[in-house]
Structure 1
Amino acid sequence: MKDETLYAWLTLAQVPRLRARQRRKLLSTWPVEAIHQQSQQALAAIGLSEDQCQAICSPNQALINASLRWAEAPDCHLLCFDHPAYPSLLKEIASAPLILYVQGDPSALAKPQLAMVGSRHATQSGLTTAYHFAKQLADYGLTITSGLALGIDGRAHKGALDGNGQTLAVLGSGLGRIYPARHRDLASQIITQGALVSEFWPDAPPRAEHFPRRNRLISGLSAGVLVVEAAPQSGSLITARYALEQNRGVFAIPGPIDQVQARGCHQLIKQGATLTDSVDDILSEVDSLVQFAVSQQSELFSDAPKLDADQGLPFPTLLANVGTNATCVDVLAERCNQPVHEIMMQLLDLELQGLVAAVPGGYVRTRRG
């Protein structure tokens, strides 16, 4: 990626409180490289606040330069939103990060993933269950994604590593500040057998408000979320809620009715989560997304020179905005900055060619597309 493109994305990433609608308006009005060259008046005219305009016209150079220096270190990668290695599933969520900081193997993000989350104060039974489930799922070929927290998260990472699989740890801090400190050795192992991931600047400290944002990435990267143990009102239930909003599968392992760590899982099951007592309960549900991710990963990281995924296909802008989750026509029209009737005609053409399919709720991209 060209330096000016990377600089442009980092500039956009440091704009405060930039909403998804504002991002789409900016990117549909100018190429990303040209946004920071616009006047404050032009930026204000499309709906940006005074602080946002100021951040674009006079960006925090120290913050941007620190990120560029961080990316020069071994195994450190910056994945911009339009980078070919940016995970396609994550692009589909609301307010997907403009920049992902990745330390380790970036190709791990394109592989089929299952999130495993649970209590920091887990029981011994829960820790054992998390370890064995992660090990078995890794043996099947799933990358295990979690949050590096104490308790269930740590055992899930460890199970995947011991199963000779890959695992991703999504942090609520910058990758220059591993949190919790007790898991620094585990983080080092994950770098060699997967990757650490964050949307925060490298030196960002862990803050309470970071962790819900971290949770939406854990679910957004994954085909589904397995909750092993969770008390009511726990952060794991936030991850499960994000998974439902993102149209991901939600799985929950039941426990003793008098155990507080089981009550969150029971609550999820009552609300429709899949009661899970073996890995088969998960594999039967996520298999189609797993196969899609495998095909995407093999194309993206083949030895052949990588071409634009939509090169030579009709209506590439529209195709780039149709993913594995159903997207309605109105949303596609907004993303492509085109009238609804034109989008409908293009979708009909793509459907006749077998590149997209109409499903309840909108359109999805087919394997051929």
Structure 2
Amino acid sequence: MQKTSTLTEVAEEAGVSLITASRALRGVGRVAKETRERVLAAAAKLDYTPDMLAQKMRGGNSGLVGVFVNGFRSLVMHELLSAINDEARRLGFDLIVFNADHFDDARRAGTAEMLRKLCDGLLLLLPDANDGLLDKLERAHAPCVLVSFAARPIDLPVVLGSNRMAAKSAVEHLLGLGHRRIAFIAGTSFTGQSEERQRGYEDALRAAGIALEPAYLRQGDFNDASGFTETQALLELPAPPTAIFAANDAMAFGAMDAISDAGLKVPDDLSVVGFDDVIRAAVVFPKLTTVRQPLNEIAVRAVAELVDAMRNGRAEGFRIELPARLVIRDSTGPAPKG
């Protein structure tokens, strides 16, 4: 196996001191252009690669942002990750994406800790409130930002879109169309966002003087299949709903499929509203009325807050909630008569 070149060998090849070679390779300090070029040429000749972990241990920066995710199933996850990558690269950072069901799991904790030390800061996308890593980061005030997290108060930076107020506006739209039997399909509770959206749903119904109907509350799993299954159950009720508000677009897509499968039409027989406004929402038939989360703005703000935390060396707790808005398309219409 080929021997790994060292910084000392690069310095000797370039005819400079060790500190000058280090500064030239990191692009910091006052190093003459000719000297920097000579050092870079020596590094290329020797196939030298900096040891980022050693550099971090010496108090330097790796230029890396760690992005921790609990699975890639979410359509929102993909859009957030893409926007975060664009913004981080624009600012000169590279991403390391680490996926695990739980980062405090015995098989993953070592990797999570290594990446925490290697990266200049962490972004946790849609984190699970039950993951012990959150408690560890909170105690350390480690440079990090939680993205789209609403499960509980936490002394760390949180950036998310509006959930409760946006959900309330979605249900108010259905009420304005004459719907009174409105169902809600919830998602999982890991990030707390589904609960916030359910509170918005309940707020709107109470404000309209409509009693909550337990049979209209269904538990989904933030995916198409659960939206399909729960809608089938709703359609079998003696007094089925005339409208369905799903806690995300994926379940709304499943709901529309179930309605079609039952020989009914959206929105003639049932109206459907989603949440997130993923790319697919504008191309399905009928096009989905949904709440548009400001995913790009969430990503840009999260990266900006992380850069501030990295600069300060610690993260202080605060919550930034960016406004979401209802996008009315073709999946909602007047309540059917009778």
Instruction: With the length of structure 1 as denominator, give the TM-score of the two structures.
Output: 0.26
Computing the radius of gyration over CA atoms, which structure comes out larger, 1 or 2?
A: 2
